[in-house]
Amino acid sequence: MTTEPVLIAGAWQVADSTGMFQAENPATKEALAPVYPISSWVDCDAVLDAAAAAFVEMRSMPGSRVAEFLEAFANAIEARADDLVEIANLETALPKSPRLADVELPRTTGQLRQAAAAARSSNWTQPVIDSANNIRSCYGAIGPVCVFGPNNFPFAFGSASGGDFAAAIAAGNPVIAKANSSHPGTTKIFAECAKAAAEETNMPEGIVQLIYRTNHDIGQQMVTDERVGATGYTGSRGAGLALKRAADGAGKPIYLELSSVNPVVFLPAVLQQKGAELATEFSGSCLMGTGQFCTNPGMVLVVKSEAADQFIEAVTTQFSEAPVGTLLSGSVEKSMHQSHQILTAAGAEVLCGTGGGSGTGYCTANSLLKVTGAQFLRDPETMQTEAFGNSSLIVVAEDLDEAAAVLSTLEGNLTGCLYSAEDGSDDAAYDLLAPVLRQKVGRLLNDKMPTGVAVSPAMNHGGPYPATGHPGFTAVGIPGAMLRFAMLQCYDNVRATRLPEILRDDYEGQAQRLIDGVWT
Amino acid sequence: MTTEPVLIAGAWQVADSTGMFQAENPATKEALAPVYPISSWVDCDAVLDAAAAAFVEMRSMPGSRVAEFLEAFANAIEARADDLVEIANLETALPKSPRLADVELPRTTGQLRQAAAAARSSNWTQPVIDSANNIRSCYGAIGPVCVFGPNNFPFAFGSASGGDFAAAIAAGNPVIAKANSSHPGTTKIFAECAKAAAEETNMPEGIVQLIYRTNHDIGQQMVTDERVGATGYTGSRGAGLALKRAADGAGKPIYLELSSVNPVVFLPAVLQQKGAELATEFSGSCLMGTGQFCTNPGMVLVVKSEAADQFIEAVTTQFSEAPVGTLLSGSVEKSMHQSHQILTAAGAEVLCGTGGGSGTGYCTANSLLKVTGAQFLRDPETMQTEAFGNSSLIVVAEDLDEAAAVLSTLEGNLTGCLYSAEDGSDDAAYDLLAPVLRQKVGRLLNDKMPTGVAVSPAMNHGGPYPATGHPGFTAVGIPGAMLRFAMLQCYDNVRATRLPEILRDDYEGQAQRLIDGVWT
């Protein structure tokens, strides 16, 4: 059987494969026609060689050239928008409109153009000059970056199109994209666009390459390879931690976005004052996109009260009555069931759902579970099991002190939210809980659901382990996200003509530079 | 036998110990009188509790208060300068003057005062504000930091006084200092000064704590503990990598400074033009401080020529004739011998030294070894064995292409230098080799030995693995070094009065902030 070719060194080539796979249409559970190869080390080795060769060219390339590539790529994507939306819908069951065509695609091209602007301005390199000592430093490209994209954003976090991709390329690195196995056809079109853009802008052949899948051991070998600079991974905790162990052992930076339950705390007074409104807001946020967002509110913390009971009742009704969306894949469905089993075995009460949905595709009924604070505190690790999808766990604490204790046992999360009354009657409770939550999350929100992740320089889509692998970096937001794929490069007494342009005394560009302590 | 007390929660306490040890005077090989405890987990647990409690206070403390502590500490150190110099000289055999009293001590207090200034200004937090989206972010303290200091800078890199210490405290974190076993008495005096400064400035009891030593498994347990934010380690590769494996597995950031051979390349024309001068410069740099600097030039690369032969002959003579310094400890002596055995077993020719020195203390004759480029390339990993101390390996490449091949096999290093002719006759060679070396090192130098490490905002004392654990961070230079002990904290829609002062619209301080894309 002929499998789809892989993109190595600028050419679509027959894969050296150890197996093959097909994607499925999650709405019908039927296999889609194209057959994709599982690449052997031979493919990976060739890809790494081409990436290393591309990096030799790219590491001395002005940012403006990289910007031209990124812009040509964004244009190429727009030219194939219909194809992309069509196939992504088949492979993920995400709605064509507004989700894919009107939200995620513009976000993706917008991100690429922001990355292009950052590459062109060079501000991201943070040039620092110490004139008296003639020591100069800035961030520079780290080397070929492996990108493993997640299943839930086939465009905006796609391995050949998304945030990690844009950040890695804009920082001057070639990208080796490993497609997510649930949407290989979508990723292939992005790689076609990247190839065309690379040719149009005269970039090295290995700037963007694509393989669809490897066995786990080969994936691990890849992220430890000496030709690799760093890795970006978004996906399941198990696979991510295996890659992390391998990369850590080889001293290769790896940035992971793993699991996050994104706790939302509704403080007593605000729940009393507008519990019904909050129930609707929460239900809408949690079920949007069938709950398949990294920042989905998978845990709610309230303090026992009549208002809390009413809130829970309202959310339960809304979850029970809301339509059930299709999940991204059979493995998402299976993983949700497993998580629900773990939570119920640990004592969680099922308020609604956890059984199969009624659709023809992969689905699970909208699910709401409940535990007391005391139950949570008996086994906080198990109670933080992420049920990725249209599911949430409500924790009812006995009082604020128990709520604080619950928060203090949390693992790292991407986000944490606190809703509080406008009139100040929750302020003491806020002051008790917010400092505890602050250290556990990358992004702290007030009075707002965490689901939206603006592409902003002030965004932090990151957080303490195991939400990510390092709490100092963000995966969303240009230029911050680029620093993951950079190394700090210092020049000591290096002759003026040999310095990167941005560190020279006669630099004429617009980038802001910290010269002798002052931003100039 | 009574052992020295440990500093836990602001009080000198009897240790819960599993054993004891004494420091030695390396100049006489005699044990020094004080007996220090090897702490059990009971001590570590108490220290971690106190650090966690201190952090609760410190995480909401204005930088100006932290600055007051650091300045009081610097003053307290100066008041005990004579004691510190006296005991450090006994414990390390480093000369009292100029080294300890006139170079390292002022560097240490200068570093602490720079850190104080950074804490006060808050510039290091890199505040970013997106007004339209009301998203704001800055770096904030990460939590209690374990500092494991090295043997070679008892003051400036000391675990209760040095660069990691200053950076961790200035970023708002308590420090748990683990003394280096070769200079526990020196570290104790620093802890006394810190305790006095903490009392004077009304800081929490757990801001600085000291234990002298633990067994390896307990050290590993400590860096993985949930109460710990991050770890800074400078020392041997073996112990460092064991800590790294433990910390990585728990998702705890760990910053390591391990080994580095710091390659120095003398290009053909400059060697031809002033080989004699360069030989003197190199010998002086390599033997200074008995070669016990992280950035000691442990590897020299030249291309075969008559000038190279003359250079090697001159260096050999100088190494043979120069006085032999005392090494820091018996383990440094032993480790040098082992490294020399590994290198000679792999085929390195001994030009001079490698045998024992003639002093009464720990020492090794000034040692110079030589291999051809071809020999190096047959087993580059072995040939990069660091011989920490008064030793260097000269690699003689057949031609420039072989020199490039040698550089391309290098592991990560802190520094790399290229010497080239002023008249441009080495420029083509520079253009061939510099890009290869650039990716392998944190700091690239021209025409200058790497031994000096200026405390400058533009400094990078870091580099790719295994020189350090992550190529994006520096261990020297304020404020850069502080970012290692920080997490990125984002505030999304958080009410104005609840924001850290530096992120508020009505902020009146002097810190530079990136507001809607412009540094203000």
Tell which B residues from 335 to 374 touch A, by Cβ distance under 8 Å. Answer: none
Q: Which of B104, B257, B333, B386 is catalytic?
A: B257
- ipTM entry: 0.97
Q: Which chain A positions have a beta carbon within 8 Å of B459's beta carbon?
A: 130, 135, 137, 490
Cα–Cα distance for residue pair B327/B363, rounded to 1 Å: 5
Cross-chain residue pair B492–A445, CB shorter than 8 Å: yes
pLDDT in tens, B296-351: 999 999 999 999 999 999 999 999 999 999 999 999 999 999 999 999 999 999 99
pLDDT tens, A274-295?
A: 999 999 999 999 999 999 999 9
What domains can you pick out in chain B, each with its CATH number? Answer: 50-121+129-258+470-484 (3.40.605.10), 263-446 (3.40.309.10)
Residues of B whose CB is below 8 A from A447 = 493, 495
Instruction: Compute chain A's Rg from CA coordinates.
Output: 24
Query: Which residues in chain B touch residue A251, judged by CB atoms under 8 angstroms apart?
Result: 412, 464-466, 469
Flag if B492 and A446 touch (Cβ within 8 Å).
yes
- Hey, are the CB atoms on A249 and B245 less than 8 Å from each other? yes
Is 90 exceeded by the pLDDT of residue A443?
A: yes
Mapped onto helix, strand or coil, the DSSP state of residue A440 is coil
Helices B216-224 & B41-58 angle (0-180, nearest 10): 30
Spatial CA neighbour of B170 closest among B494, B479, B505: B479
Instruction: Please tell me the distance from the alpha carbon of residue B210 to that of residue B15, in angstroms, as a whole number.
Output: 11
Smallest Cβ–Cβ distance between A486 and the set B251, B435, B472 belongs to: B472
**b/e burial code for range B335-359 (CB count within 10 A of at least 16 → b):** bbbebbeebeebbbeebbbbeebeb
Identify the pLDDT of residue A1.
72
CB B108 within 8 A of CB B161: yes
For every residue of A25-92, DSSP letters joined together read ETTTTEEPS--EEEE-HHHHHHHHHHHHHHHHHHTTS-HHHHHHHHHHHHHHHHHTHHHHHHHHHHHH
In this prediction, residues B167-182 reach a mean pLDDT of 98
CA angle (B512, B516, B517) in 5-degree steps: 70
Cis previous bond, A98, omega within 30: yes
Q: What mean pLDDT value characterizes chain A?
A: 97
Residues of B in contact with A137 (CB under 8 A): 458-460
DSSP string, B144-190: -EEEE--SS-TTTT-TTTSHHHHHHHHTT--EEEE--TT-HHHHHHH
For residue B139, the chain A residue with the least C-alpha distance is A472
Q: pLDDT class for A329, splitting at 50, 70, 90?
A: very high
CA B516 from centre of chain = 37
Task: Specify whether B411 is catalytic.
Answer: no
Percent residues over pLDDT 90 in chain B: 97
Q: Residue A359 pLDDT > 80, yes or no?
A: no
Q: How many whole angstroms separate alpha carbon B283 and alpha carbon B352?
A: 13
Residue B359 has pLDDT above 80, yes or no: no
A269's tokens: 């007074």
The residues in B 426-465 lying below 8 A from A, measured between CB atoms, are: 430, 434-435, 438-439, 442-448, 450, 454, 456-460, 462, 464-465
**B441 membership: H or E segment, kind and range:** strand B441-446
For residue B476, give how far its alpha carbon lies from the nearest alpha carbon of chain A (Å): 12
Q: Return d(Cα A183, Cα A170) in angstroms, integer.
A: 24
Q: Could you tell me if A490 lies within 8 Å of chain B, comparing CB atoms? A: yes
CA atoms within 13 A on the CB side of B331: 11
- What pLDDT digit, counting tens, does each position of B433-465 carry? 999 999 999 999 999 999 999 999 999 999 999
Catalytic, B78? Answer: no
Contacts of B345 (CB under 8 A, 6+ apart): none
Report in angstroms the alpha-carbon separations of A184 from A25, A148, B292: 12, 12, 54
What pLDDT, on a 0 to 100 scale, did the predictor assign at position B260? 95
Chain A 229-248, residues with CB within 8 Å of chain B CB atoms:
244-245, 248
Inform me whether the pLDDT recorded for A480 exceeds 90: yes
The catalytically annotated residue of A44, A146, A294, A417 is A294
For residue range B98-138, list pLDDT tens digits in order: 999 999 999 999 999 999 999 999 999 999 999 999 999 99
Structure tokens belonging to residue B485 = 């002990």
Confidence band for A42, pLDDT divided at 50, 70 and 90: very high
Give the residue from A231, A176, A210 showing the smallest Cα distance to A54. Answer: A176
Give SS3 for B512: coil
**Which residues of chain B lie closer than 8 angstroms to A245, CB-CB?**
248-249
Let me know if B447 is exposed, middle or buried by CB neighbors in 10 A (0-12, 13-18, 19+): middle
Instruction: Say if the Cβ atoms of B435 and A59 lie within 8 Å.
Output: yes
Q: Is the pLDDT of residue A60 over 90?
A: no
Helices (H) and strands (E) in chain B, counts: 15, 23
Average confidence (pLDDT) over B24-32: 97
Alpha helices in A301-360 (DSSP H): 306-321, 330-345
Question: How do beta strands B208-211 and A413-419 pair?
Answer: unpaired
- Predicted local confidence at residue B183, as pLDDT: 98
Q: Which pLDDT value is given to residue B61?
A: 94
pTM > 0.90: yes or no: yes
Q: Tell me, what's the pLDDT at B241?
A: 97
In the set A257, A333, A402, A411, the catalytic residue is A257
Chain A positions touching B466 (Cβ under 8 A) are 251
What mean pLDDT do residues A107-134 have?
A: 97
Is A389 within 8 Å of chain B by CB?
A: no
Confidence check: pLDDT of A41 > 90: yes
For residues B141 and B172, the answer to whether their CB atoms sit within 8 Å is yes
Among residues of chain A, what percentage have pLDDT more than 70?
A: 100
Among A322, A237, A256, residue whose Cα is nearest residue A284: A322
Q: Chain B residues with CB inside 8 Å of A295's CB? A: none
Asked whether residue B357 carries a pLDDT value surpassing 90, the answer given is no
Confidence of residue B149 (pLDDT cuts 50, 70, 90): very high
Q: How confident is the model at residue B356 (pLDDT cuts 50, 70, 90)?
A: confident
The whole-number pLDDT of residue B1 equals: 72
CA A177 to mean position of chain CA atoms: 15
A485 Cβ under 8 Å from any chain B Cβ: no
pLDDT band at residue B178 under the 50/70/90 scheme: very high
- Name B180's Cβ contacts closer than 8 Å, sequence gap at least 6: B148, B149, B150, B151, B154, B158, B159, B187, B235
Contacts of residue B238, Cβ cutoff 8 Å, sequence gap at least 6 = none
A458/B129 CB distance under 8 A: yes
Q: In the A/B pair of chains, how many CB contacts fall below 8 A?
A: 188
Q: How far is it, in rounded angstroms, from Cα B198 to Cα B210?
A: 14
CB B487 to CB A464 under 8 A? yes
Q: What is the pLDDT of residues B279-294, one digit of tens each?
A: 999 999 999 999 999 9
Chain B touched by A128 (CB under 8 Å) = yes
